[in-house]
Amino acid sequence: MTPTDATPAVVLSGAAGRIGTYLRRTDGGLAARGWGLRLLDAAEPDDVGPEETFTLADITEEESRDALETAMAGADAVVHLAGIPSEDSWTRLRRANVDGTFRVLEAARRTGVRRVVLASSNHAVGYYPLGEVARVDDTPRPDSFYGVTKVAGEALGSLYADKYGVEVVSLRIGMCADRPRTTFDLGIWLSPADVVRLVDAALRGPVDGPVVAYGVSANTRGWWDLTSARDLGYDPQDDGEVFADDVEAYDWPDVLGHGMVATDPLA
Which residues are the active-site residues?
146
DSSP state string for the chain: ----SSPPEEEEETTTSHHHHHHHHSTT-TTTTTPEEEEEESS--TT--TT-EEEE--TTSGGGHHHHHHHHTT-SEEEE--S--S---HHHHIIIIIIHHHHHHHHHHHHT--EEEEEEEGGGGTTSPTTS-B-TTSPP--SSHHHHHHHHHHHHHHHHHHHH--EEEEEEE-EESSS--BTTHHHHEE-HHHHHHHHHHHHHS--SS-EEEEE----TT--B--HHHHHTT------GGGGGGGSBPP-S-SSTTTT---S-TT-
